[in-house]
Amino acid sequence: MQIVSVNRDYLLKAILKVTGVVDKRQSIPILSNILLLKENKNLSILATDLEIQVTVFTKFGYSDSNCYITLSARKLLEILKSLPCDNNVSLSLLSENRLSIISGKSKFSLQTLPYKDFPVINQLEQFDIFVKISQKNLFDLINTTYFAMAHQDVRFYLNGLLLVFDKNIIKAVATDGHRLAFNSMKIDYQGEYREVIIPRKNIIELIRLLNNMDDDINIDVGFNQIKFSFSDIEIISKLVDGKFPDFNKVIPNHHKRVFSIKRDVFHGSLMRVSIMTNDKFKGILINLKKNLMSISSNNANHEEALEEIDIEYEYENLNIGFNVNYLLDVINNIKSNTLIFSIGNDNNSSALIRFQDHENFKYVVMPMRI
């Protein structure tokens, strides 16, 4: 029974949207598969790792029959990538456990597994929060904060991004305990205050799939689940069950040493100085004195680097160390011509970095001993 007949490029594009959540190291074999749900002309393509589920809705179905199968995501993807562009591809079910793929003079036969064994994340019957926002705005909100998320931290609630829904505003916060990124924007929301932590993998998939366009995305939040619906995609994810740190206490508001620096100049100096840093700690020393910033580094081989930048600085001299990667991360993810630094009175105080063209964005980075 033929179930799909479509241009290879269209099918490949749809498969690529879901395969990001397929883990090659799955201990449950069927989770390395994708689920194809064909009902008449409608074909839904679904993948999950039990924490996040991505579904793509298409009209690739052939004939009006219904069919439900699951097959290897990796093998299907590699086959489609290897076929010539613009070729037509046909998928046919040969038996309960066998699927054929035909394109031109190329023929493949793949094993399938029973679709009833595929673990689908059931959508909540009721959601408490309903928000609509443009894909461009959500992408900007996440892209300016997600890089500060922790990765495999024992404090599991840091391995994700905090979304805060408040009256007419949405906030995004990420931290790994050494730095914190915050951004916010106005939305049409009149509901109750709510904080939710979205798992890291969900955030990475959103960054990959969102279009930098004005098309809307619907966000539905329930007790322990969040759903994103946009274009032909639906993402359902479990929420992290934990208490996120009070980010308001972390963001300094009274630093009196404030100065600006050109982004490209600072970025170039950091890149050059980072060459001589210790491979493990990546520490650099910033020396501030009247109208001059010096950035230096050294390593165990007694190799050194020094950069000097002219700035408008009229405060007392200060030496303060930072992890150079934490500074490069924020510069690489925020596009603006000018950084605004706010620093405390000693080298134990955190630094606050803002950008001239992003008034709601704040980045806090803790110093390190050099």
pLDDT at 316: 94
For the domain covering 129-247, report its CATH number. Answer: 3.10.150.10
Closest by alpha carbon to 54, among 27, 34, 25?
Answer: 34
Q: 2-117: which CATH topology?
A: DNA Polymerase III; Chain A, domain 2 (3.10.150)
Contacts of range 104-109, beta carbons closer than 8 Å, 24 or more positions apart: 108/79
| Residues ≥6 apart with Cβ < 8 Å to 51 | 199, 201, 202, 237, 238
Pairing of strands 338-343, 304-310: unpaired
Pairing of strands 233-238, 292-298: unpaired
Asked if 2-117 and 129-247 have one fold, the answer is: yes
| Torsion on CA atoms 90, 96, 97, 101, rounded to nearest 10 | -10
Pairing of strands 88-95, 2-7: antiparallel
pLDDT at 243: 93
Q: How far is CA 295 from CA 50, 85, 321, in A?
A: 46, 51, 9
Are residues 341 and 353 in contact, defined by beta-carbon separation less than 8 angstroms? yes
d(CA 231, CA 88): 24
Q: Which two tokens stand for residue 103?
A: 């394109």
d(CA 341, CA 361): 13
∠ Cα 145 149 154 (to 5°):
160
Q: Kindly report the pTM of this predicted structure.
A: 0.91
Q: Is the dihedral of CA 270, 276, 278, 280 positive or negative?
A: positive
Burial readout 181-210 (b: 16 or more C-beta within 10 A, e: otherwise) = bbbbeebebeeeeeebbbbbbbbbbbeebb
pLDDT tens, per residue, the chain with 370 residues: 888 999 999 999 999 999 999 977 767 889 999 999 999 999 999 999 999 999 999 999 888 789 999 999 999 999 999 999 989 999 999 988 899 999 999 999 999 999 999 999 999 999 999 999 999 999 999 999 999 999 999 999 999 999 999 999 999 999 999 999 999 999 999 999 999 999 999 999 999 999 878 899 999 999 999 999 999 999 999 999 999 999 999 999 989 999 999 999 999 999 999 999 988 889 999 999 999 999 999 998 999 999 999 999 999 999 999 999 999 999 999 989 999 999 998 888 999 999 988 999 999 999 998 7
SS3 171: strand
Q: Which two tokens stand for residue 48?
A: 């999950």
| Residues ≥6 apart with Cβ < 8 Å to 365 | 178, 179, 322, 323, 326, 327, 330, 350, 351, 353
The CATH architecture that domain 257-365 belongs to is: Roll (3.10)
Are residues 252 and 349 in contact, defined by beta-carbon separation less than 8 angstroms? yes
| Residues ≥6 apart with Cβ < 8 Å to 105 | none
Q: Quickly list DSSP for 280-345.
A: TT-EEEEEEETTEEEEEEE-TT--EEEEEEE----S--EEEEEEHHHHHHHHHH---SEEEEEE-S
d(CA 49, CA 27): 10
Are residues 29 and 87 in contact, defined by beta-carbon separation less than 8 angstroms? no
pLDDT at 214: 85
Q: What is the pLDDT of residues 40-62, one digit of tens each?
A: 999 999 999 999 999 999 999 88
SS3 111: strand
DSSP state of 61: B
Are residues 258 and 209 in contact, defined by beta-carbon separation less than 8 angstroms? no
Residue ranges covered by each domain of the chain: 2-117, 129-247, 257-365
Strands (DSSP E) contained in 104-188 are: 106-113, 129-134, 160-166, 169-175, 179-186
Are residues 326 and 341 in contact, defined by beta-carbon separation less than 8 angstroms? no
